[in-house]
Amino acid sequence: VRIVDRDFLEADNLHRQVLYAESDVAAQLPKAVAAAERLRAINSDVTIEPVVADVSPANIATLAGAVDAIVDGTDNFATRYLVNDFAVSTGKPWVFGGVVGTEGQVLAIVPGETPCFACLMPEPPPAELQPTCETAGVLGPAVGVVASLQAMEALKLLSGNRAAVNPRMTLVDLWTNQIRNVGIAATRSATCRACGQPDFAWLA
């Protein structure tokens, strides 16, 4: 398992990022390193490789080239489009997840079989229209639910059970107690920049 994160821990991460403790914040550990230490303590048979880095066009092939699946927990559209371009160009499955406030989204993307992220959202929305955890906040239970759904989809992919992978996007709102699965098959497009043409602009 390779964990890539550039950030260092802060106290306000702890309510939603359950791998970490106050002692990790006090030690000023990078998130990737603290997560690796915790996971090794849970299961020492698993090899955990922490990488403290930005994911960029220059290093994504090194970071993700040899993995069997990508699980995305990033907080910005630029990285998601980059991951999408890399996944589509290499045929590598990836599981997208995002949370703001009490709402979250999860989608497993299998290149060549499902719509890709660019099919669903050809262009990123204007920055001023993008709520973030900093501007809108986030409640910990929503992160836990989304992360668990992502992990389940990753387990299906990694165990070779493609037929069990959810072909729809899961939308959750824990404040209103709603969980919906939305069909997205119709969004797959032969004119999609990434998986239709293809044009991997974000890799450049």
CA-based max dimension of the chain: 51
Provide the 10 A C-beta neighbour count for residue 198. Answer: 15
The answer to pTM > 0.85 is: yes
Span 46-104, pLDDT tens digits:
999 999 999 999 999 999 999 999 999 988 899 999 999 999 999 999 999 999 999 99
* Pairing between β-strand 169-173 and β-strand 103-109 as defined by DSSP bridges: antiparallel
Query: DSSP for 104-135?
Result: EEEEEE-TTTS--HHHH-SSPPPGGG---HHH
pLDDT at 143 over 80: yes
In the numeric block, which tokens belong to residue 193?
A: 């920049």
Provide the 10 A C-beta neighbour count for residue 22. Answer: 10
